[in-house]
Amino acid sequence: MAKQNLKQIIKSEYTRCAKDPIYFMKKYCMIQHPTRGKIHFNLYKFQERSLDEFKNHDYNIILKSRQLGISTLTAGYSLWSMIFNQDFNVLVIATKQEVAKNLVTKVRIMHDFLPSWLKGKTIEDNKLSLRFANGSQIKAVSAAGDAGRSEALSLLVLDEAAFIDRIDEIWASAQQTLATGGRAIILSTPNGTGNFFHKTWVKAEAEENKFNTIRLHWSVHPERDQTWRDEQDSLLGPKMAAQECDCDFISSGHTVVEGTLLQWFKQTYQQDPQEQRGMGGDYWIWEYPDYAKNYMVVADVARGDSSDYSTFHVMDVETVSQVAEFRGQPTTKEFGNMLVNVATEWNNALLVVENANVGWAAIQVAIDREYRNLYYTYRNDGVTDFDVAMSKGYDLKDKSQMVPGFTTSSRTRPLLISKLDIYFREKECIVRSKRLLDELFVFIWNGSKAEAQQGYNDDLVMAFAIALYVRDTALKMRQHGLDLNRAALSSLGNTQQKSVYTKTDNHVPGTWDMDIRGQNEDLTWLLK
């Protein structure tokens, strides 16, 4: 009789566990606590609510604070699904194999301490996978573009998704395997804006995709208070603490320009263009040429593959305002002709073209068409600094010492990035383009190198950085007792043609005018 009663109890418990993952975890699952050793998984209320969300929604995205036990919760949910379902296939993908393996380890520990009547019979058990006799399994892999491509998945877990490179490719591959009823859990602390995790979260909040959102701020943990949060600032620094604790996309990440600043520019200046020209509307215009103003056209030429774009900005030199912008994929010859036409339209603007790789082809078009105001770089330095050039005895009339276009090198690139950072921090430029700001949100520090996040472009960013740099080093010239004559100014353009810039005899030394329609415009502001 006692034996019969025991069987009934076990059957009842098994049935209850199968129906209720919260009951299953709280009563039967053990976890490895960092200070207390192996303990029962006593779920907090926010963990129970999250588990209910897992059950009720096929696709869940979790924006979380650090150390809330969500990875452990996901491991428990995976184990529960594997035990009570046949052929339940779980794939865990993370930035590194070691990170993904940790979740499999959590599943293994929980399974090892289950009572025998709950355990699934194990037929495969290694560091990266666990397989039961009922056909269910969990496997850990590091992030790669083809991760999950050949898997028939019941559940996909993307752990710390905001930090996974090429996650767009991974998700595109995995979606095909989830199409027959699979589930997905994407979880991460924030890592800046514009990446896959951020965009997926934003769309989910706007109900533009099928993900259910779960936001877990640090304050959901019952053992944390403001004192704990203040300590995190001291331990991690304010920026890292915002990333790890506050679920704050803007303050998180490693963008070259601070996210909060970019948000300010977005709210203050971003606007739709007055006109979009071209077949694809790629040429955006916010202001039309004012013949009393001076402009620069600064271009970055695409390599020629489909992964990047040829870009240019038209800048009001005095106000450092973006007045027009192009982003498209014309041929280099088409782009070169476009640049000459645009620069001519904008008051024969200074035309600055990066001369790396295929940039030469666009520059050659400008030379062949005898565009008179083409920018030159000092050949030996790659730095457009007049003081340096003159101190080294360069003859600015001698084109053998100069090369057409702007030279981006290991020496100039850090200077470009520094100039970009300064202008944004001091709010000294006006950026109107959503396209440019979107690129800046994913323009990050990768170690010591500033570059676009994996899978994104920085063509507009680099053209804009060159514009700011040239504006300060070539146009905002300093006087240190040097007689900067006409040759210095005409070095900005083709010395075989009349320079846009002139020095008049009836002005005090150091006061520069621009000849526009026979009238001299005072450019003293350039010397400040």
What are the residue ranges spanned by the domains of the chain? Answer: 19-252, 261-478
> Is residue 181's pLDDT more than 90?
no
Residue 146: per-residue pLDDT: 56
What does DSSP assign to residue 444?
E
Residue 507: per-residue pLDDT: 39
Better-predicted residue by pLDDT, 18 or 472: 18
Measured CA to CA, the distance from residue 249 to residue 268 in angstroms comes to 19
Task: Scan for tokens 């979740």, then name that residue.
Answer: 103
> Is residue 456's pLDDT more than 60?
yes
Which pairs with CB-CB distance under 8 Å and at least 24 residues apart come from 304-308? 304/332, 304/358, 307/457, 308/457, 308/459
Is 327:460 a contact under the CB 8 Å cutoff? yes
Lowest mean pLDDT among 109-113, 352-356, 471-475, 501-505: 501-505
Q: Classify residue 399 as exposed, middle or buried by CB count within 10 Å of its CB (0-12, 13-18, 19+).
A: middle
Lowest mean pLDDT among 197-201, 421-425, 508-512, 523-527: 508-512
SS3 19: helix
pLDDT classification of 505: cutoffs 50, 70, 90: very low
pLDDT classification of 490: cutoffs 50, 70, 90: very low
Measured CA to CA, the distance from residue 137 to residue 427 in angstroms comes to 54
Assigned superfamily of 19-252:
P-loop containing nucleotide triphosphate hydrolases (3.40.50.300)
Residue 512: per-residue pLDDT: 44
The dotted CATH code for 261-478 is 3.30.420.240
> Is residue 173's pLDDT more than 60?
yes
Task: Work out the average pLDDT over 116-130.
Answer: 88
Task: Work out the average pLDDT over 451-462.
Answer: 86
> Is residue 485's pLDDT more than 50?
no
Report pLDDT digits (tens) over 27-66: 999 888 777 778 889 999 999 999 999 999 999 999 999 8
DSSP string, 209-222: SSPEEEEE-GGGST
Is 389:492 a contact under the CB 8 Å cutoff? no
Question: Which amino acid is it at 427?
Answer: K
Q: How confident is the prediction for the chain on average, in pLDDT?
A: 82
SS3 178: helix
Percent of the chain residues topping a pLDDT of 70: 82
Q: Take residue 378 and report the two structure tokens written for it.
A: 């000092």
Residue 357: per-residue pLDDT: 77
Residue 4: per-residue pLDDT: 62
